[in-house]
Amino acid sequence: MSATHPVSLSVNGEQISRLVEPRETLADFLRRDLQLTGTHTGCEMGVCGACLVLMDGRPVHACLTFAVQASGAVVETVEGLSESAEIADLQRTFHERNALQCGFCTPGMLVSAHGLLTRPGVPSREEIRDALSGNYCRCTGYEAIVDAIETVARRRSAGERAARFLEEPA
Total site size for other proteins, rule CB under 8 A: 33
Position 49 contacts other proteins (CB under 8 A): yes
DSSP code, position 36:
-
Calpha distance 88→162 (Å, rounded): 5
Comparing CB distances to other proteins, the nearer of 71 and 98 is 71
By CB under 8 A, tell whether 133 contacts other proteins: yes
Exactly one of 58, 95, 161, 164 binds other proteins (CB under 8 A); that residue is 58
If the CB atoms of residues 122 and 163 are measured against other proteins, the closer one turns out to be 122
CB-based burial, 90-99: b 16+ in 10 Å, e otherwise: bbbbbeebeb
Phi-psi region of 66 (alpha: psi -120 to 50; beta: other; left: phi over 0): beta
52 binds other proteins (CB under 8 A): yes
Q: Please check whether residue 152 is in contact with residue 90, taking contact to mean a CB–CB distance below 8 angstroms.
A: yes
User: Which of residues 22 and 155 has its CB atom nearest to other proteins in the complex?
Assistant: 22
Angle, in degrees to the nearest 10, between helices 143-157 and 106-117: 30
| Interaction of residue 60 with other proteins, rule CB under 8 A | yes
Distances (CA, A) of 89 to 5, 61, 67, 165: 39, 23, 30, 6
Binding mask 14-43 for other proteins (x = CB under 8 A): -------xxx-x--x---------------
Residues 6+ apart with CB under 8 A from 72: 8, 9
Q: Which of 115, 139, 151, 156 binds other proteins (CB under 8 A)?
A: 115
Binding-site ranges for other proteins (CB under 8 A): 1-3, 5, 21-23, 25, 28, 44-46, 49, 52, 55, 58-61, 63-66, 68-69, 71, 112, 115-116, 130-131, 133-134
